[in-house]
């Protein structure tokens, strides 16, 4: 007997330009699995209703992107340990009449940095800029990957404190105000997890953060990653990495949760990277 059709979606706002439908379609083609995956625009006000409608129409799993990851955590009936530590959910799996929430962002980032880019994260003094859904997703996995100290700064200090509290490792996790960033010294890993470039400008960052060993990582990709990575390169960062590889890796983790098999991410990454370069260098 053939498997019943599965329906998947990504919820976010804005979401029309999400690459996730194309990535999941490519995984499905690679593995001979029929994929029905659409983008659904929902704001924090409309998300709960939109998700219930999706479940009612047979939705079997969903990705959740900005600005809904914390709302998805609140809506999930049960969740994984890594989602609980993040306080944010980017992957929902329908289980009977309930939603199971997971967070694949951190595993996706670590896999991209260590596997694709060959970085050893152990012992790195690390700065995480941002405390939104993506920052929450990656922070626990950076700690698990062995970074030495994790400093967190964010425009809204209450969110910095909430993230540090959720991580529960006061000896390694240090919340700091954004306006004292110039006093924090040099970092071997700097992760920009803000969406600031989407609204025009990244926060002002001092060059003292960057040293010869620094890897600078922007979780965004395409044009949104250009200002931060250009800043890092100009100040001598050794590695500058955008979020495209993480995007493909977190998608593969979600795909595996839903379909029980992990796709080969390299060909999909290569195809997207070619597109991404065209996107950034286009007039």
Pairing assessment for the beta strands 78-79 and 59-64 based on DSSP bridges: unpaired
Question: CB 154 → ligand NDP: shortest distance, Å?
Answer: 5
CB nearer to ligand NDP: pick between 112 and 188: 112
34: Cβ contacts below 8 Å, ≥ 6 apart:
5, 28
Question: CB 79 → ligand NDP: shortest distance, Å?
Answer: 17
To the query of whether residue 69 is one of the catalytic residues in this protein, the response is yes
CB nearer to ligand NDP: pick between 55 and 66: 66
**Residues 26 and 271 sit within 8 Å (Cβ to Cβ):** yes
Residue 161 CA to residue 98 CA, distance in Å, equals: 31
CB nearer to ligand NDP: pick between 148 and 195: 195
Question: CB 1 → ligand NDP: shortest distance, Å?
Answer: 36
Report the length, in residues, of the chain.
283
Question: CB 222 → ligand NDP: shortest distance, Å?
Answer: 9
CB nearer to ligand NDP: pick between 161 and 213: 161
From 7, 24, 69, 136, the catalytic residue: 69
Q: What letters, b where the CB count within 10 A reaches 16 and e where it falls short, cover 108-136?
A: bbbbbbeebeebebeebbbbbbbbbbbbb
**Residues 33 and 8 sit within 8 Å (Cβ to Cβ):** no
CB nearer to ligand NDP: pick between 213 and 271: 271
State which residue has the least CB distance to ligand NDP. 132
How much helix, strand and coil, in percent to the nearest 5, is found in the chain? 45, 20, 35
Instruction: Please state, in angstroms and as integers, the Cα–Cα distance from residue 260 to each residue in 6, 100, 104, 119, 257, following that order.
Output: 13, 15, 15, 28, 6
> Which residues form the interface with ligand NDP (CB under 6 A)?
66-67, 69, 105, 108, 130-135, 154-156, 159, 193-196, 199, 203, 219-221, 224, 243, 246-247, 250
**CA atoms within 13 Å, Cβ hemisphere of 50:** 19
Tokens 């998300």 belong to which residue? Answer: 47
Phi, psi angles (nearest 5°) of residue 242: -95, 180
Question: CB 279 → ligand NDP: shortest distance, Å?
Answer: 14
Q: Could you give the residue numbers annotated as active site? A: 69
């Amino acid at each position: 007997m053939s498997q019943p059709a599965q329906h998947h979606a990504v919820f976010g706002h804005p979401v029309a330009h999400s690459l996730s439908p194309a990535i999941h379609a490519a995984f499905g083609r690679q593995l001979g699995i029929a994929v029905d995956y659409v983008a659904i625009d929902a704001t924090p006000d409309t998300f709960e209703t939109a998700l219930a409608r999706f479940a009612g129409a047979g939705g079997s799993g969903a990705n959740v992107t900005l600005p809904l990851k914390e709302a998805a955590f609140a809506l999930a009936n049960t969740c994984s340990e890594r989602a609980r530590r993040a306080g944010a959910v980017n992957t929902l799996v329908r289980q009977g009449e309930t939603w199971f929430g997971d967070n694949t962002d951190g595993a996706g980032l670590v896999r991209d940095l260590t596997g694709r880019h060959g970085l050893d994260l152990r012992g790195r003094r690390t700065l995480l800029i941002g405390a939104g859904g993506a920052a929450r997703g990656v922070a626990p996995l950076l700690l698990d990957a062995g970074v030495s100290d994790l400093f967190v700064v964010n425009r809204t200090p209450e969110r910095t404190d909430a993230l540090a509290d959720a991580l529960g490792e006061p000896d390694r996790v240090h919340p700091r105000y954004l306006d004292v960033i110039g006093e924090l010294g040099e970092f071997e890993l700097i992760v920009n997890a803000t969406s600031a470039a989407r609204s025009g400008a990244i926060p002002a960052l001092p060059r003292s953060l960057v040293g010869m060993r620094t890897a600078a990582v922007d979780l965004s990709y395409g044009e949104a990653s250009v200002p931060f990575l250009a800043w890092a390169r100009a100040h001598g960062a050794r590695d500058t990495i955008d979020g495209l590889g993480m995007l493909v890796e977190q998608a593969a983790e979600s795909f595996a949760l839903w379909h029980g098999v992990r796709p080969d991410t390299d060909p999909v990454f290569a195809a997207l990277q070619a597109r991404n370069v065209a996107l950034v260098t286009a007039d």
